[in-house]
Amino acid sequence: MWLQRFTDQPGMRPGIAMLLVACGVVLSACASGPKPAKTGDAEAAGVVREVPPKAQTLYEQAVSALASGDVLDAELRFKEFLLQYPDYPGAHVNLAIIYASQGNDKAVENSLTDALIIDPEHPVALNQLGMLLRRQGKFIEAEATYMKAVTADPDYALAHYNLGVLNELYLQRLDLALQHFERYQELGGDDEQVTKWIADLKRRLGGNERTANVTE
């Protein structure tokens, strides 16, 4: 059961997860493409430039290519977009996702740094950075970064999911893992596997409590 929890995204195998999470980025960070900043989901720090329809189309084509698995085409389109409009963090985040699927952690870090310079509270960029730090074995730093993501957007389900995984498997904090998995489900995760993990955690926590009572 535990091996299934090593993915950073629910219901997906490693590698595939890193690519398909782009759909989550599109919905929660980019929507239909670049747009004026709004609370908790700023696309740029300060003044946001107008984006002409041609650039909007290019961005949407890049998103579609990424969602369909055409990584090379998506990468080229995002790079082309950023040459003209470098101040949109969603494009940098999507490039980071592409680089993560290729195992290029240095490029992931660079792209996420670019995104977070533009918007230090971009929840999707912070979640992706937390995933990078977790892969590097920097578990405390990963936790702090995921917590920044859920502070910026308390309803960002994937960051709660990743906090659940991190706390259970790497930090051995079963109570916190349970809290984050339950929050993930409350936010619409509705994941059958996570439901099983919640039941397992409750069973284990109950067993730990009984053991503590016996030894007192």
User: How many CB atoms within 10 Å of residue 206?
Assistant: 10
For residue 145, pLDDT over 90 is answered with yes
What was the pLDDT predicted at 211? 53
CB–CB of 140/121 below 8 Å?
A: no
Q: To the nearest whole percent, how much of the chain has pLDDT over 70?
A: 73
| CATH superfamily of the domain spanning 2-215 | Tetratricopeptide repeat domain (1.25.40.10)
Tell me: the pLDDT tens digits for 95-114? 999 999 999 999 999 999 99
Res. 189 pLDDT band, cuts 50 70 90: confident
pLDDT for 14-71, tens place per residue? Answer: 343 444 443 333 323 332 233 322 222 223 222 234 667 878 888 899 999 988 989 9
**pLDDT band, residue 164 (cuts 50/70/90):** very high
Query: Which of these, 183, 93, 109, 184, lies nearest to 141 by C-alpha position?
Result: 109
State the pLDDT at residue 53.
82
Please give the pLDDT value at position 6. 45
Q: Which of 1, 8, 7 is closest to 146 using CA atoms?
A: 8
The predicted-structure confidence for 75-96, as pLDDT tens digits, reads as follows: 999 999 999 999 899 999 999 9
In eight-state DSSP terms, residue 86 is T
pTM for this model (two decimals): 0.78
pLDDT given at position 54: 79
**CB-facing half-sphere around the CA of 124: CA atoms within 13 A:** 27
What are the domain boundaries of the chain? 2-215
